[in-house]
Amino acid sequence: MNAFISTLQKNVEVLTRPSSIEEFKYIPQEEKTLPNIGQLKDIVDLIKSIFFPGYFGVTGRNQNSQQYYTGVNIEKLYSLLDEQIYTGLHFFHTEDTREALKDSAELALVFIDRLPKIKRLLCTDIKAVFDGDPAARSYGEVIFCYPAIQAMINYRIAHELLALGIPVIPRIITELAHSATGIDIHSGAQIGEYFSIDHGTGVVIGETCIIGNHVRLYQGVTLGAKSFKLDDDGLPMNIPRHPILEDHVIVYSNSTILGRITIGHHSIIGGNIWQTSGVPPYSRILQRKAVSSFFVDGAGI
Amino acid sequence: MNAFISTLQKNVEVLTRPSSIEEFKYIPQEEKTLPNIGQLKDIVDLIKSIFFPGYFGVTGRNQNSQQYYTGVNIEKLYSLLDEQIYTGLHFFHTEDTREALKDSAELALVFIDRLPKIKRLLCTDIKAVFDGDPAARSYGEVIFCYPAIQAMINYRIAHELLALGIPVIPRIITELAHSATGIDIHSGAQIGEYFSIDHGTGVVIGETCIIGNHVRLYQGVTLGAKSFKLDDDGLPMNIPRHPILEDHVIVYSNSTILGRITIGHHSIIGGNIWQTSGVPPYSRILQRKAVSSFFVDGAGI
Amino acid sequence: MNAFISTLQKNVEVLTRPSSIEEFKYIPQEEKTLPNIGQLKDIVDLIKSIFFPGYFGVTGRNQNSQQYYTGVNIEKLYSLLDEQIYTGLHFFHTEDTREALKDSAELALVFIDRLPKIKRLLCTDIKAVFDGDPAARSYGEVIFCYPAIQAMINYRIAHELLALGIPVIPRIITELAHSATGIDIHSGAQIGEYFSIDHGTGVVIGETCIIGNHVRLYQGVTLGAKSFKLDDDGLPMNIPRHPILEDHVIVYSNSTILGRITIGHHSIIGGNIWQTSGVPPYSRILQRKAVSSFFVDGAGI
Amino acid sequence: MNAFISTLQKNVEVLTRPSSIEEFKYIPQEEKTLPNIGQLKDIVDLIKSIFFPGYFGVTGRNQNSQQYYTGVNIEKLYSLLDEQIYTGLHFFHTEDTREALKDSAELALVFIDRLPKIKRLLCTDIKAVFDGDPAARSYGEVIFCYPAIQAMINYRIAHELLALGIPVIPRIITELAHSATGIDIHSGAQIGEYFSIDHGTGVVIGETCIIGNHVRLYQGVTLGAKSFKLDDDGLPMNIPRHPILEDHVIVYSNSTILGRITIGHHSIIGGNIWQTSGVPPYSRILQRKAVSSFFVDGAGI
Amino acid sequence: MNAFISTLQKNVEVLTRPSSIEEFKYIPQEEKTLPNIGQLKDIVDLIKSIFFPGYFGVTGRNQNSQQYYTGVNIEKLYSLLDEQIYTGLHFFHTEDTREALKDSAELALVFIDRLPKIKRLLCTDIKAVFDGDPAARSYGEVIFCYPAIQAMINYRIAHELLALGIPVIPRIITELAHSATGIDIHSGAQIGEYFSIDHGTGVVIGETCIIGNHVRLYQGVTLGAKSFKLDDDGLPMNIPRHPILEDHVIVYSNSTILGRITIGHHSIIGGNIWQTSGVPPYSRILQRKAVSSFFVDGAGI
Amino acid sequence: MNAFISTLQKNVEVLTRPSSIEEFKYIPQEEKTLPNIGQLKDIVDLIKSIFFPGYFGVTGRNQNSQQYYTGVNIEKLYSLLDEQIYTGLHFFHTEDTREALKDSAELALVFIDRLPKIKRLLCTDIKAVFDGDPAARSYGEVIFCYPAIQAMINYRIAHELLALGIPVIPRIITELAHSATGIDIHSGAQIGEYFSIDHGTGVVIGETCIIGNHVRLYQGVTLGAKSFKLDDDGLPMNIPRHPILEDHVIVYSNSTILGRITIGHHSIIGGNIWQTSGVPPYSRILQRKAVSSFFVDGAGI
């Protein structure tokens, strides 16, 4: 046991010495301002039960009592948002930001006023996913089962929160969807109506993407940035650097589209493409034909 | 607080007005017929503990008492299946389907009778995964740790449930595996014995795929559909539209195989291929050689 | 009910008959030596709260009381490690391994002594991720939100446990990260300082990879093996079979690099590349230009 | 292990042999009609949060949103009552009872209509407890902290349920309070307004008690039955057999009042009394003076 | 915050200094031998579900599958008993006791063999409670709702464990019932068949009591000890010091019977009696008549 | 369903109308100042694990690491106390109290400074209980199992909190013990060293009691008040009204001692006594001898 105690005491000392902790400055713990991931999940779940009662959450037995549930859920949402927005506003506390001055309660109210708009957009996504999948039998199945809708719910919530100037919280909400679905949409991306993703695992949509209406992506599609410029301090510059996809574009699986380029409307990008330049409307891009041979021995590739 | 109350009341009104809710018809809540995702997880976990006692679930201290545990677990499984199959049968309630007439308890019993068959198939998958990985040291490690087995357990369960005509439930079960492993296998796909997937993230296997025995896929492989035909109502037609892979086919990472084409037996498809036409047996398909240059400045790509 | 009882009894009999169970030998349950996944998660969480107090776990209100928390957390970690290492050492019990003779408590202490080293390496990863993302605003955001860091924490812990000769446990720990992030790093891989992954879903890093310092990968990158040799018993041979990436290599999204080849330092591999041969330093590899046409009808691809 | 298996198998056989189980007939398990104690607790908690929002349960942030919470809580209450009343109606299933024919949903509605009446009575009890305790500082403290109120809430709920002819459920609800407070009030007892109990542990109020208004009991008071008559089958007869306490009676601690006797209004029964005959109004009953001596040695009593 | 840190550090020092901790010797924590109260509750619950399937625990859907549940429950019981008996045997570790040498697994098996006997005795208690309460409508109601049965289940389990020489565990089990029901029966007491307690709060039955068959107690009855003799070390002597109640004795509420005296068979002790001497069979003891007067002013007692 | 909706809406309206809610003024819910019973339980549990490590809570593996645990536990205690004391200070918000001005954090620190004193007193109680029970085998058994100690821990904590002027919280803490043990000690009572209670159910100790050292009570003992005087407003006056028990007094079971009287030191009060006048030192009080007869018929009492 002596070995245990000495190892314990030595490592406690090493791991708590100020130089060790300060190397990566961390949030003063006394203020308890860290976002709470469990509560952010609850926020998303509450919004789902407000938008789609019957599919998510506990709801009224019939249409006439639904108002009571929606009232309670919005009030719960308000409390949770107030608390979490506050933590977000305090996450970075460099002196030159004024974010901390904003009123988290006020922002929560503004967000609640945008719920009907968010719901309307999501309904277009549900229609687009349904229309694009021969296997889907009802909107309900799409709402209840499809990961793309799960990802879009989180994205559209996060996008509004980011638009209100709230830091960190939007990223956590989109990462929750990323972990559950493999779909990684930056909350800063601008995405139009009737957006759909099929299967979705591996999709990446970067911060400065602009996506029109009726766009459809398949699994593994990256809408990313090429190497980025550094500013005078040697830090990467946060400028528009991701693609623009105009209306009615389709991108097939595992393709990579990089840089601030424009994919013209009604274009189709085939699968497994590496695309770093823009294309005009109605383009059709396919991978070069593969090399084919016959397989003669057991050595594989 | 006045601002809060007025915002609350306004949005409760907007979000519960019939036009808003009816836009996307949802399940009458009184009948409480929605599938329960937690119980569907429990169903999968029970089957895992019945098939692989010792690795999953609580089991007997020795061989002689195992029967008590299996008896209890099958009876629990029966109760849960009865309840969840019922919810599945009521998920769509258009008048022309007769599904609701089927007896969920009876279907649960039929499913239980198929457990030995499902177990036998899974054991061939375990062998195939083990044989294909130099790092694997025992069947036990494969059963306990490999995401491909987790995905195959859910797929093979879901496939049998779909074969019994039960809607929605199979999709939820495969989506559970999709979320946990990144492997998205449609429960309608037909997959033979000794099937293996390596790593697996991003694999997509479409609804009408037919896969032979001893087939092996790597991460990121898509077996998908090209654009689909619309029927007279403008709805996509649910017809065979995904590839057929014959016995002993291997597909390397990130390749996309689209359409109702046939990949002949013993073929090898290299990685990052976009394949939309069939190939004869013993084919070997490789991506065209990339363009290579030397890197001179810091600008990256 | 008779149908239920007879189905129940028949299947209990079939599924517990020794031949059925023995087909895939499983761990003798009496010894209770199976690793516990929940406790392994707790181990990772404890280490995260020891390394990054304030971001993870419950911590002291200020710097001066942090020592109490670190002491308690290391002691809890020791107890959990002791128990789980023991289960790992007993997972395989073929007679020719001597692993079971090793002392799990002793190994737990050795591991604890390596915590400062693991923390130091992770701090270089955090810096690399931060430096590579224009959207990141602080180290704290990277620590708290980025899946790449989550994956690297699990990998670096697992790598040290594997280096101590502990079986199975390292794989479970990396699979936990794989499931949450879609990043699949084998605990045997050797990865240098300042390693970063962007987005990450679909990344696969094989067991015998050797990766230098300042290497950066994008989503969907595979560092894998080609077909492997079989030994005299027909079993795959566990020999070096994955790529070597020298310092300052960048690999863009969805590329596949296979086999024991060397990617020279400062090379850039573009996206969607299938690379099975080595390249010299400062190379730059791009996919051949795609075939482009205009889109004339509604038939898609 | 052989000893374990043989002991296990022998006792399973003995303890499940029909003669053993049938000795005490139990409820056919298939019908799943047993009351659920957890849900009965939830029912009481919901009623508490409906009656005293702010003290119990989750409530609205202000008066204006309280309606949403009350609506949701009453609807939850209705669902739980419906289910639990059903189980109560099926608990006894002798053929000559018609209870099972009653509609549990209908009874739940009738009960809900009586909530305002129950609340009104409880408010008189709160006032009586407050007025009787010099240490109490507000009604809120009495509602939140005093076991007598907890016992009266359960009793008054149970009393209404019993009045609706629902078996078993009332007893479970009063036993929940009995366990928590030591106060055992039979749900059949009739208790007027402004009833108070001080401290309460050990109080017993029998099934056929009739208690007027403004009555006050102290801890350990029994209002019980003397020996009871047997009917022709040798079974105890369920006839009026407990005391009647008229208005404004006070009974001090640990007194026992037995039999269908009447304690006249405004009477005071001192502590530690054994009373088996009635007394006229304004009576005052005290224990005979004790025998007093001096204590000379260490032998105690 | 300085005040907090100095208070924290000072009190940590004071409260962990060896003299402070050693003042009351406590169990060496490394051996982790403390009984676990949660597991002891589980043990009681398992036994309840083995004895009275349908009323407690999860049970089979019908008679034919009950064996599976009983098998699993007995095996779980065995594991829990093995562990908890071990902790009991190590609770006291003075050198002169040999308890630690006993085999906890062996004792667990012996206890399991006594389950049928314990069940048989409890069934007589159920009958006695039922026969004594005009309000009871079935054995099932008595099993499911009556605190006396809850107390007797715990007592009869604890009594057998004590008879096997296991320390501490029996007391914890009886204290669990004491806390829930207010009935405090020492596990050492000897209680015959057909024992019943009505209401029960405040009943105390001492360690060396001997109670015959068909005995009935009411709430608040104490069967206690008078002052006890000290041995040569000044410690109280653990000798027979509690009453003997012969068959068919009834004791009414709140009476106190002290010392090693004998209450002859068929005697009735009225309520609120202080009895320190034995009585012959068929005795009938009543409190002296109280002093009665009329109540003239508002001054109370 | 119409009946349900109309019942729902009617009762929501009735139960939330201001007149109904205001009848019993309740705490403004916006301020969220209600004490949290779960956290108060945690506070007691933390103190138990600080005082008696090894018996309660999670503790260090050995003496040398105990400091880390005590540090963490005291800091947790401080946070919880700060929060709960705050709620207590706001529970009553009449304008003339200044309690809300007190600093809850400061009071929490003062309380922490009194922990060593509280522990010292509890150790005397443990010794007294041990010395008084021939069946107790170690201090550890007393600490771990005896309800009297549980009640005294809660009382002594609550007494200190009350001494700091904190309202409501002390009562809740003593009611927690009351519910668990049946022992009801008002936090205002003054109790000396070496206090013991045997069995305890039904014991009541009033607010203004003064109890010396080495006092021992048995179950069912009441130290209460007679009727109390009313002030000019007709409210009961909160003046000294409970008994004084001098050193070395013993009171046997179920006795009731009422009013501001003094029981002289070394007195013994027998069981079932009703005592409303003081007695000199060394007194010995016994109930008058009961009336005894023989039992001739089956009619009972």
Q: CA F257 to CA D290: how far, in whole Å?
A: 12
Residue B7 is predicted with a pLDDT of 87
Q: Where are the alpha helices (DSSP H) in B182-279?
A: none
Are B264 and B246 in contact by the 8 Å Cβ rule? The answer is yes
Q: CA E98 to CA E236: how far, in whole Å?
A: 23
Chains in touch with F (≥3 Cβ pairs < 8 A):
A, C, D, E
The answer on pLDDT for B236 being more than 90 is no
Q: C60, F68: Cβ pair inside 8 Å?
A: no
Chain F residues whose beta carbon lies within 8 Å of the beta carbon of residue E228: 134
Residue A29 is predicted with a pLDDT of 47
Chain E residues whose beta carbon lies within 8 Å of the beta carbon of residue B69: 68, 71-72
The answer on pLDDT for C160 being more than 50 is yes
Q: Could you tell me the pLDDT band of residue F31, with boundaries at 50, 70 and 90?
A: low
Which is it for strands A256-258 and A274-275: parallel, antiparallel or unpaired? parallel
Chains in touch with B (≥3 Cβ pairs < 8 A):
A, C, D, E
Q: In this complex, which of E26, E228, E286 lies closest to F140 when CB atoms are compared?
A: E26
F95 exposed, middle or buried (CB, 10 Å; 0-12, 13-18, 19+)?
exposed
Chain E residues whose beta carbon lies within 8 Å of the beta carbon of residue F226: 300-301
Residue C61 is predicted with a pLDDT of 67
Beta bridge partners of F210: F190, F244
Q: How far is E65 from chain C (nearest CA, A)?
A: 7
Q: CA B213 to CA F165: how far, in whole Å?
A: 78
Are F290 and E273 in contact by the 8 Å Cβ rule? The answer is yes
Q: B68, E68: Cβ pair inside 8 Å?
A: yes
Q: C7, B220: Cβ pair inside 8 Å?
A: no
pLDDT (mean) for C163-189: 96
The answer on pLDDT for D87 being more than 80 is yes
The answer on pLDDT for D232 being more than 60 is yes
Task: For CA atoms D128, D131, D133, D137, give the dihedral sign.
Answer: positive
Other CB atoms within 10 Å distance of the CB of residue E179: 17
Residue E7 is predicted with a pLDDT of 86
Measured between CA atoms, the residue of chain A closest to residue D59 is A72
Tokens of F182: 């049946």
- Please give the DSSP secondary-structure letter assigned to residue B189: -
Specify the residue for token string 């019981």: E77
Residue A109 near chain D (CB below 8 Å) = no
* Mean confidence (pLDDT) of chain D: 87
Q: Could you tell me the pLDDT band of residue D185, with boundaries at 50, 70 and 90?
A: very high
Chain F residues whose beta carbon lies within 8 Å of the beta carbon of residue C67: 68, 71
Q: Could you tell me the pLDDT band of residue D235, with boundaries at 50, 70 and 90?
A: low
Which is it for strands B196-198 and B216-218: parallel, antiparallel or unpaired? parallel
D vs F: CB pairs below 8 A = 211
Chain E residues whose beta carbon lies within 8 Å of the beta carbon of residue F145: 168, 171-172, 175
What region does D66 belong to: left with phi over 0, alpha with psi -120 to 50, or beta? alpha
Amino acid of residue D22: E
CA of residue B122 relative to chain centroid, distance = 14
- Please give the DSSP secondary-structure letter assigned to residue E24: S
* Mean confidence (pLDDT) of chain C: 87
Q: In this complex, which of C1, C62, C68 lies closest to E1 when CB atoms are compared?
A: C62
Q: C27, B55: Cβ pair inside 8 Å?
A: yes
Specify the residue for token string 């092996």: B216
The C residues from 1 to 60 touching F (CB cutoff 8 Å) are 58, 60
Q: In this complex, which of C69, C70, C75 lies closest to F60 when CB atoms are compared?
A: C75
The E residues from 68 to 107 touching D (CB cutoff 8 Å) are 70-71, 74-75, 78, 105
Strands, E, within chain A: which ranges? Answer: 184-185, 190-191, 196-198, 204-205, 210-211, 216-218, 222-224, 244-245, 250-251, 256-258, 262-263, 268-269, 274-275, 283-286, 291-294
Axis-axis angle for helices D169-181, D147-163 (nearest 10): 170
Q: A65, F5: Cβ pair inside 8 Å?
A: yes
Residue E90 is predicted with a pLDDT of 82
What region does D190 belong to: left with phi over 0, alpha with psi -120 to 50, or beta? beta
Tokens of B195: 């099937």
Chain C residues whose beta carbon lies within 8 Å of the beta carbon of residue A270: 290, 301
Q: CA B173 to CA B258: how far, in whole Å?
A: 25
The answer on pLDDT for C217 being more than 60 is yes
pLDDT (mean) for D80-101: 72
pLDDT (mean) for D288-296: 68
F62 exposed, middle or buried (CB, 10 Å; 0-12, 13-18, 19+)?
middle
**D141 versus E31: which is more confidently predicted?**
D141
Tokens of F46: 């933390």
Q: CA F205 to CA F221: how far, in whole Å?
A: 8
Residue F7 is predicted with a pLDDT of 86
* Mean confidence (pLDDT) of chain B: 87
- pLDDT-above-90 percentage for chain B: 64
Q: CA C117 to CA C127: how far, in whole Å?
A: 16
Are A7 and A13 in contact by the 8 Å Cβ rule? The answer is no
Measured between CA atoms, the residue of chain C closest to residue E63 is C5
The rounded average pLDDT for each run of 10 residues, N- to C-terminus, in chain E (301 residues) is 81 79 53 83 96 82 81 94 90 54 84 95 94 87 95 98 95 97 97 96 96 97 83 73 97 95 96 93 86 58 52
Residue F297 is predicted with a pLDDT of 47
Q: In this complex, which of F55, F116, F219 lies closest to E26 when CB atoms are compared?
A: F55
Residue D15 is predicted with a pLDDT of 85
Are E43 and E169 in contact by the 8 Å Cβ rule? The answer is no
Residue A286 near chain C (CB below 8 Å) = yes
- B154-165 in b/e form (b: 16+ CB < 10 A) is bbbbbbbbbebe
Q: A74, B12: Cβ pair inside 8 Å?
A: yes
Q: How far is D147 from chain B (nearest CA, A)?
A: 35
- A87-105 in b/e form (b: 16+ CB < 10 A) is bbbbbbeeeeeeeeeeebb
The answer on pLDDT for F75 being more than 60 is yes
Residue C236 is predicted with a pLDDT of 65
Q: E68, B67: Cβ pair inside 8 Å?
A: yes
Q: How far is CA C24 from CA B53, B54, C21, in A?
A: 11, 11, 6
Residue C60 is predicted with a pLDDT of 72
Q: Could you tell me the pLDDT band of residue C102, with boundaries at 50, 70 and 90?
A: low
Residue A298 is predicted with a pLDDT of 44
Percentages (nearest 5) of helix, strand, coil residues in chain D: 45, 15, 40
pLDDT (mean) for F81-85: 93
Q: C67, F71: Cβ pair inside 8 Å?
A: yes
The answer on pLDDT for B259 being more than 80 is yes
Other CB atoms within 10 Å distance of the CB of residue B135: 15
Which pairs with CB-CB distance under 8 Å and at least 24 residues apart come from B291-296? B291/C285, B291/C286, B291/C287, B291/C288, B292/C279, B292/C283, B292/C284, B292/C285, B292/C286, B293/C283, B293/C284, B293/C285, B293/C286, B294/C280, B294/C282, B294/C283, B294/C284, B295/C266, B295/C267, B295/C268, B295/C282, B295/C283, B295/C284, B296/C282
Q: C1, E61: Cβ pair inside 8 Å?
A: yes
Q: D295, F284: Cβ pair inside 8 Å?
A: yes
Q: CA A166 to CA A219: how far, in whole Å?
A: 30
Q: Could you tell me the pLDDT band of residue B289, with boundaries at 50, 70 and 90?
A: confident
The answer on pLDDT for D218 being more than 60 is yes
Q: What is the CA radius of gyration of chain B?
A: 23
Residue D92's SS3 state is coil
ipTM of the assembly?
0.90
Per-range mean pLDDT, top range of A225-239, B83-97, B273-287, F51-65: B273-287
Other CB atoms within 10 Å distance of the CB of residue C130: 22
Q: How far is B201 from chain C (nearest CA, A)?
A: 5
Residue D211's SS3 state is strand
Q: CA C71 to CA B99: how far, in whole Å?
A: 61
Residue E64 near chain F (CB below 8 Å) = no
Q: How far is E52 from chain C (nearest CA, A)?
A: 22
Residue F229 is predicted with a pLDDT of 67
Chain E residues whose beta carbon lies within 8 Å of the beta carbon of residue F276: 301
Tens digit of pLDDT for each residue in C245-280? Answer: 999 999 999 999 999 999 999 999 999 999 999 999
Q: What is the torsion angle, in degrees rounded to the nearest 10, for the CA atoms of residue C198, residue C204, residue C207 and residue C211?
A: -30
Tens digit of pLDDT for each residue in B157-173? Answer: 999 999 999 999 999 99
Residue F143 near chain E (CB below 8 Å) = yes
Q: CA B50 to CA D246: how far, in whole Å?
A: 65
Are F190 and F209 in contact by the 8 Å Cβ rule? The answer is yes
Q: In this complex, which of C8, C62, C68 lies closest to E65 when CB atoms are compared?
A: C8
Are C175 and C154 in contact by the 8 Å Cβ rule? The answer is no
The Cα angle at residue F299 between residues F297 and F301, in degrees rounded to 5: 110
**F137 versus A162: which is more confidently predicted?**
A162
Residue B298 is predicted with a pLDDT of 44
Residue B60 is predicted with a pLDDT of 72
Residue B96 is predicted with a pLDDT of 38
Chain D residues whose beta carbon lies within 8 Å of the beta carbon of residue F220: 202, 220, 254
| Residues in chain A with pLDDT values less than 70 | 1, 19-32, 61-63, 93-102, 228-230, 233-236, 294-301
Residue E220 is predicted with a pLDDT of 96
Task: For CA atoms C96, C101, C104, C110, give the dihedral sign.
Answer: negative
Q: Could you tell me the pLDDT band of residue B138, with boundaries at 50, 70 and 90?
A: confident
Tokens of A240: 């528009």
Nearest to F222 by CA among E3, E254, B213: E254
Q: What is the CA radius of gyration of chain D?
A: 23
Chains in touch with A (≥3 Cβ pairs < 8 A):
B, C, D, F
B92 exposed, middle or buried (CB, 10 Å; 0-12, 13-18, 19+)?
middle
Axis-axis angle for helices E169-181, E147-163 (nearest 10): 170
Q: CA C265 to CA E176: how far, in whole Å?
A: 69
Tokens of A254: 């595992």
Q: E62, C5: Cβ pair inside 8 Å?
A: yes
Q: How far is A121 from chain B (nearest CA, A)?
A: 12
The answer on pLDDT for B204 being more than 80 is yes
Are B169 and C54 in contact by the 8 Å Cβ rule? The answer is no
B59 exposed, middle or buried (CB, 10 Å; 0-12, 13-18, 19+)?
buried
